[in-house]
Chains A and B, each alone.
Chain A
Amino acid sequence: MIARAGVFLAAAITLALSASYSANSSAPQAVNHAVIVGENLPRSLSDFAFFVDSSRQIPSAGVTPYRLNTPLYSDGAEKLRFVYLPAGTKMRANGAGLLEFPVGAALIKTFAFGDGNARRLIETRVLLHRESGWLALPYRWNDEQSDAALALAGARVDVDAGDSGQISYRIPNKNQCKECHGLQGAVVPIGPKARNLSHRWLSDMAGRSRLDKLPDKHDALPVWEDRKGSDLNAAARAYLDVNCAHCHRPGATASNSGLDLRWEQDEPFAFGVRKRPVAAGRGSGGHEFDIDPGHPERSILAYRMGSTAPGVAMPELGKSTVDEAGLAVIDQWIAEMEQ
């Protein structure tokens, strides 16, 4: 029975993917373009019609799944990422950086916990590219898993997070979306940067004319699951870039800290080496420097990653559990750093 269900699911996904890859398939469900570019805040995720089968996360035509080499940790949630491009439009490469998206595009990310039939969808965050700019909205899944409702003010949901046990999972409010997605006062996507996307996916998108060309310096960040085989420095810097640098960079939420954790920042003081804290408060944990080379146990960066207490924990948002795997990489990176 279980095996049959699995086969059925696989078949459904294959069907759905082929639908999303082919504009000519018979009557594919169309994404509701007007809702994406309109003025309103759609009340339900289903209003967009991003999915043919939303509870199984099977995408509609024009909606393409993707993954990031090194992903943002979110309490261990499984994340399903999709990009929607309106018919006849394409993304544009912009060096190693963020792909440029046409107006009418949308990025969709669903957060789920549990495996197989036990998987529960918790929330889906959408980024809509409207004429006025990007709009970030959070949607909370109902208990029946049939649809998700706009959660402007965010929510707390009790979730079984596997190894971490029961946690109080935080769905961010609309403003908190901007805390991470804000740059120079505007909302921007974070994830789909060429350096953090695979060669295969980018080539495929370019081959299907959904991307104007293969970007320079793409696929540079290591694939997180393969980190043990890759350079420690690259794994650590990729982790910091993806998990921290959307705030800790010039022009973003934590700019005033002076800490710049972007992948391309190569000045050690700027990414925290022997840098004293500014406004850390008790977040300092009694330590003098963000990174004290050779001493993760004396480094504020590792201390705050290892905490879940509000006011201490980093990241400040979307974190109820410590990312032990991420922390292990950062600890080792600091421990092996030249003193």
Chain B
Amino acid sequence: MAKLNAACLALSMTAFIAAPAWAETINVAAGEGAQERLQEALILAEPGDEIVLQGGRFELTDGLSLDVDSVTLRGAGMDQTVLDFTGQQGAGEGLLVTSDFVTLRDFALENPKGDGIKSKGADAIVYHRIRVTWTNGPDQNNGAYGIYPVESTGVLIDGTKVSGASDAGIYVGQSFDITVRNSIAEANVAGIEIENSRNALVENNIATRNTGGILIFDLPGLPVMGGGNVIVRSNLVVDNDTDNFAPPGNIVAGVRRGTGIMVMANDNVLVENNVLTDNDTADIMVIAYTQPFDDDRYNPYPREVTVGPNVYARSGRNPQLDGGEMLMTAFGGSLPSVLWDGLSEDGTTALYAVDGTAGWSLSLTEQGKGLGDANPGPLVVDAPGKTFQAEGVGAPSELEDRLG
């Protein structure tokens, strides 16, 4: 009975958030004064309101921002409604969201000077059919992130499309309970990146022509660390062959061209049922954090990473690695699909791989010391011995109710 009551309450709360009786629809059209009209609508919106962006090109000079809970910002389609930031003069991103229960859907951003859409401390956010494009293609003067939720719990990114980001197309940082799916990340440095985050599901995406397709990272020195509980499954990760164009200094500037899926640090990660082909350096890379660091709270090693069954083809044929030619010769013409640096935390297992996984190890012996003591050899790891605990991974199901 108590359970039932709780369920009823939850249901009614969901209904309340989704559509209060007094919810209004506010229409905003492109054209003269779009900056002020749209920003004013975003400020004056009440919880439950829907702001509808008409089709057309909104020429914007400054960043937009939304700080009201439970607002939907809806366009006429990712090819119909374009927020054009080519003439942007100020602010660090195109659109900043700082409130909870927000839905962003069916519009595009083009050429933001900094990040595309940043949502910070914005819980239970949905990005649906959003496009962020830097129209000049890969360029280190493009903004860093296309879709950029950070410090948030409950993130659903579905059906989006990002290209040209000089860091990561879709970047989720310092967040919890995340789903990134059905999205296309093309010609970014990193296609999709999950960083210092837990409980993330990355599925049914296409990552192509990036420098690296899908990155699962944990970095030191940040307020939120301890990334893990991540599933990367059923993605198409092919032809990630764009030269790294990230400005030096950024962590992704070290990603090798032709990286398919890369796991750095993190615990409890499952990579399965992906199709990985034509990634020139490696289809899958599992490594420790590469730099020296000074942070007692940080664990630089990959722990309990499972490489399940995946489809691999034509990888490691033009690796961006010192001595690549020699290595290819040693391995019979091309590098095996899975690369491990050989590092693990004492007493834990870094990596499991299903039988038949073609891989190799750098056999490094010390974290943060570079590749100097590499002693490449075949990958020798155990097959996964237990079922991956997938419970609690992914965005809360109530976020799905806002799709459709």
Contact = CB atoms under 8 A, between A and B. Distances in A.
A175 B173 CA distance: 22
Interface in A269-290: 269, 275-289
Q: Which 9 A-B pairs have the closest CB atoms?
A: A281-B144, A284-B249, A311-B114, A153-B39, A310-B113, A316-B92, A175-B65, A311-B113, A153-B36
A286 B248 contact: yes
B144 A256 contact: no
Contacts, number: 144
Given A175-B67, A276-B251, A281 B166 contact: yes
Contacts of A168: 89
B contact face: mostly helix, strand, loop, or mixed: loop
A173 B66 CA distance: 11
Given A153-B39, A174-B43, 18 more contacts: A152-B43, A154-B36, A173-B43, A182-B98, A256-B120, A256-B174, A256-B224, A269-B294, A278-B221, A278-B222, A280-B144, A281-B144, A283-B144, A284-B248, A284-B250, A310-B113, A317-B91, A320-B89
B115 interface: yes
Nearest to B67: A175
Interface string A205-216: 000000000000
A152 B167 CA distance: 33
Given A310-B114, A316-B92, A317-B91, A152 B249 contact: no
A contact face: mostly helix, strand, loop, or mixed: loop
B35 interface: yes
Contacts of B142: 282
Contacts of A98: none
Contact of A175 (B88, B96, B151, B249): B96
Contacts of B40: 152-153
Contact of A278 (B96, B166, B219, B248): B219
Nearest to A279: B144
Contacts of A170: 62, 89-90
Contacts of A320: 89-90
B152 to A, nearest CB: 10
Given A310-B92, A311-B92, A173 B143 contact: no
B247 interface: yes
Given A173-B39, A276-B249, A281-B167, A156 B89 contact: yes
Interface string B33-49: 00111011011100000
Interface in A287-304: 287-289, 300
A28 interface: no
Max count, chain B CB within 10 A of own CB: residue among A174, A258, A285, A287: A258
A275 to B, nearest CB: 6
25 contacts: A153-B39, A153-B43, A154-B39, A156-B89, A175-B66, A175-B67, A175-B98, A253-B120, A258-B223, A269-B294, A277-B249, A278-B221, A279-B144, A279-B145, A280-B144, A281-B144, A281-B246, A282-B166, A283-B144, A286-B249, A287-B249, A311-B114, A311-B143, A317-B90, A320-B89
B43 A175 contact: yes
A175 B43 CA distance: 7
Given A178-B98, A256-B173, A276 B62 contact: no
Contacts of B310: none
B61 interface: yes
Contacts of B141: 282
Interface in B170-189: 171, 173-174
Interface string A121-147: 000000000000000000000000000
A128 to B, nearest CB: 16
Contacts of B43: 152-153, 173-175
A285 B247 contact: yes
